[in-house]
Structure 1
């Protein structure tokens, strides 16, 4: 069961990497690596704490909670399937919104 969750998360994050620009893509690749684990866990916990304690701030806020949960899901197996589903939902929403954009070039 844990392996299936890991596969779903990997597929979802692979899709996410195709939707983001270069610097963000490189950060995601690095954050997924095993060598980033000791940075990933404290960063995830800090993002979740900031998102909960300061949800009203303009640069950091409630939007940091899902990012922190995504980072944490690589190390906590029971978060993998829900985060994979959330990422796929966000990518689908992004693609629908991008497809309906009046400024889209054909």
Structure 2
């Protein structure tokens, strides 16, 4: 994986951080720091497992992408697909937002 791919993923994660509530953004920023690697990997694995058990209360399918996002920081083969998925979600969200504004909803 090139440094360019890592930089692109970092920029996307920073854009996501700006949209999150302050407390969640602070937690995400801390988890993304290199020194948090030993916390980030187990949390990512647990989030993926929690996403697989989304039929249980509290746990949800939202945990699956969160876990992949955290693991992509440390596992190079996950970076490109994660970055592409983030880009697709961001484009979908903006398109949806524009459509709602055009409809006046």
What TM-score comes out, normalization by structure 2 length? 0.84
Count matched residues. 102
Q: How far did residue 8 of structure 1 move?
A: 1.8
Moved more, 85-94 or 74-83: 85-94
CA distance in 2, matches of 1:94, 1:24: 19
Moved more, 56-65 or 72-81: 56-65
Q: Which runs of 5+ in 2 are unaligned?
A: none
Residue equivalent to 2:30: 30
Q: Which runs of 5+ in 1 are unaligned?
A: none
1:1-106 mapped onto 2 (5 Å cutoff): 1-52=1-52, 54-101=53-100, 102-103=104-105
What SS is found at the alignment partner of 1:100? helix
Q: How far did residue 14 of structure 1 move?
A: 1.5
Q: Indicate the structure whose relative CO is greater, using CA pairs within 8 Å and at least 6 residues apart.
A: 1
Q: How far did residue 22 of structure 1 move?
A: 1.3
